[in-house]
Amino acid sequence: MATVTTSTGGSAGATTDRLPAVVRSSGPAGSLLMVEPNHAIPLVHVVVAARGGYATDPHKHDGLTNLAAQLARRGAGKRARAQIDAALDELGATLEVDTDPDSVRFVGHVLARNLDPFLAILADIVVRPQLDPGEMARTVREIAAQIDESRNDDQALCARFFVRNLYGDHPYGRPAEGTRASLEALTASEVAAHFQRLFVGRNLVFAATGDVEPADLEARLGRAFAGLREGVAEKPAPLRTPVPVRGWRIQLVDKPDRQQAQIMFGHAGPPATDPDFVALQVGLSAFGGHGMTSTLMDEVRTKRGLAYGAYLSLAERRGAGAVAGWVFSSNDKVVATLKLVLKLYLSFMEKGLDATRVAASRTFVAGSYASEMDVPEHRLDARLSAEMAGLPPDFVDTFPERVRAVTPRQVNAAISKHVRARDLAISMVATAATMKKLLLAAKIKESSIDVVGFESQ
């Protein structure tokens, strides 16, 4: 099949930005194939991604997409789960399921010399899954137990509640893995139908990086996935705009004996394809990005020692990705920390950034991209995420240039339009008996404080 494009970002004079070339071509059964050869080490990283992640889970069917992919991984072709596990381990390969709002992916690593048998197993999973009802019951129990386990981690727990607090019934508010109740309500036929709808050629992106050449991989995939149906591409339903939060809506996730509170705060942002997206990223990075000199880090940690860290980021999504902040602080400092963070975010929204701060943020965001993209799998992941978000094929390669082209006026316009500091979902994992009194006494002017148990979702 003919190669479509070779993307090698970076303009003349910006050689340090240039990422290794990725070759885009047609894959099996009308799919898209992206390959970045890299022969430094004898491994291949392979991803098969279906458009439409957990945002495609029907109402009250939370966890359907993830369960379908997990179940396919647990029995395919002539192999039962134990045989797939053993076959992959014998190849020294790994194969995991990764489900996000916009895609569901099989993600694997394999030694280059074992690529063909690995692709044969992967093809069985994608093309010939067993989707056995008995294995499904066991998979549901396993996922439910993992949900229970995730409550040990207060940070992950806070994130799980925060997305629901922020998005409500919007598809992005669903937990990727569902809940025990939603999983137990699913039928085997629903799971099978959902899988067969998502995993067809025209809805798939094959992606790889490592010790393989694009034409070689294209041929290998063609052989391994010969039985893949073309089907039709998942037509993404237009994601409705989330119902905005009004005021500061505080949700206390009550967990016993907490000495700290994990706090997440935020609101819905623009889709990744919004013309303001890059400018907003530059602005938000200055406020709470991953550098140590951001406003949040400087004011909360460096100047006052109130918390170990304070961050804010914008998710790159096909729909309204979250603008989400995160800070954690001991009980006696929570009120001071929360008040400070809210005050800083209000000020950021109202005053924006001066040209010096914009220039510094542009330099940092564009420059640090080389470090972020130093890992071949990260580059592949970034390219896949951009594809799933509907961004142009050269978005990752040209990102530093796009950042450097942003003006202070554009940044401040984006802040003014998209930052909603007066309307925030705030979730806190804390001991409610202690924390609610502190919050009420502090008169934060919240619109509401709801208390929910940490095992309630």
Binding residues among 204-243 for other proteins as defined by CB under 8 A: none
CB count, 10 Å around CB of 3? 14
Residue with tokens 């690529």: 115
Out of 255, 267, 317, 383, name the contact with other proteins by CB under 8 A.
255
* Residues paired with residue 310 on neighbouring β-strands, in sequence order: 327
Nearest residue (CB) to other proteins, 76 versus 88:
88
Out of 98, 274, 298, 423, name the contact with other proteins by CB under 8 A.
298
Question: CA-CA distance, 68 to 75, in Å (whole number)?
Answer: 11
Where does 62-201 have alpha helices with state H? Answer: 64-73, 81-91, 115-127, 133-150, 154-167, 180-184, 188-198
Our finding on whether 135 is near other proteins (CB under 8 A) is: no
Per CB under 8 A, which of residues 345..364 are in contact with other proteins? Answer: 360, 363-364
Q: Which of 196, 272, 197 is CA-nearest to residue 239? A: 272
Our finding on whether 259 is near other proteins (CB under 8 A) is: yes
Our finding on whether 267 is near other proteins (CB under 8 A) is: no
Out of 189, 293, 407, 456, name the contact with other proteins by CB under 8 A.
293
- With CB under 8 A as the contact rule, which of the stretches 123-131, 145-153, 185-193, 417-425 interacts with other proteins? 145-153
Q: Which of 26, 437, 432 is CA-nearest to residue 218? A: 26
Out of 3, 26, 368, 457, name the contact with other proteins by CB under 8 A.
368
Our finding on whether 375 is near other proteins (CB under 8 A) is: yes
Nearest residue (CB) to other proteins, 142 versus 216:
142
> What is the nearest approach in angstroms of other proteins to the Cβ of residue 112?
10
Q: Which of 212, 146, 153, 203 is CA-nearest to residue 179? A: 146
> What is the nearest approach in angstroms of other proteins to the Cβ of residue 17?
8
CB count, 10 Å around CB of 424? 26
Question: CA-CA distance, 444 to 224, in Å (whole number)?
Answer: 60
> What is the nearest approach in angstroms of other proteins to the Cβ of residue 422?
25
CB count, 10 Å around CB of 189? 10
Per CB under 8 A, which of residues 398..417 are in contact with other proteins? Answer: none
Per CB under 8 A, which of residues 6..45 are in contact with other proteins? Answer: 16, 18-20, 38-43
Out of 260, 281, 412, 427, name the contact with other proteins by CB under 8 A.
260
> What is the nearest approach in angstroms of other proteins to the Cβ of residue 29?
29
Distance set, CA 389 to CA 74, 93, 176, 372 (Å): 28, 29, 17, 19
Out of 246, 303, 409, 437, name the contact with other proteins by CB under 8 A.
303
DSSP per-residue string spanning 370-416:
HHHTTSHHHHHHHHHHHHHTT--TTHHHHHHHHHHT--HHHHHHHHH
Per CB under 8 A, which of residues 70..129 are in contact with other proteins? Answer: 81-82, 85-86, 88-94, 109-111
Which residues are within 8 A (CB) of 81 and not within 5 positions of it... i.e. 6 or more apart? 74, 75, 135
- With CB under 8 A as the contact rule, which of the stretches 27-35, 59-67, 166-174, 286-294 interacts with other proteins? 286-294
Out of 25, 130, 329, 398, name the contact with other proteins by CB under 8 A.
329
Our finding on whether 273 is near other proteins (CB under 8 A) is: no
Q: What is the DSSP letter of 308?
A: S
Out of 148, 169, 230, 350, name the contact with other proteins by CB under 8 A.
148
Burial class (CB in 10 A: 0-12, 13-18, 19+), 278: buried
Nearest residue (CB) to other proteins, 200 versus 397:
397
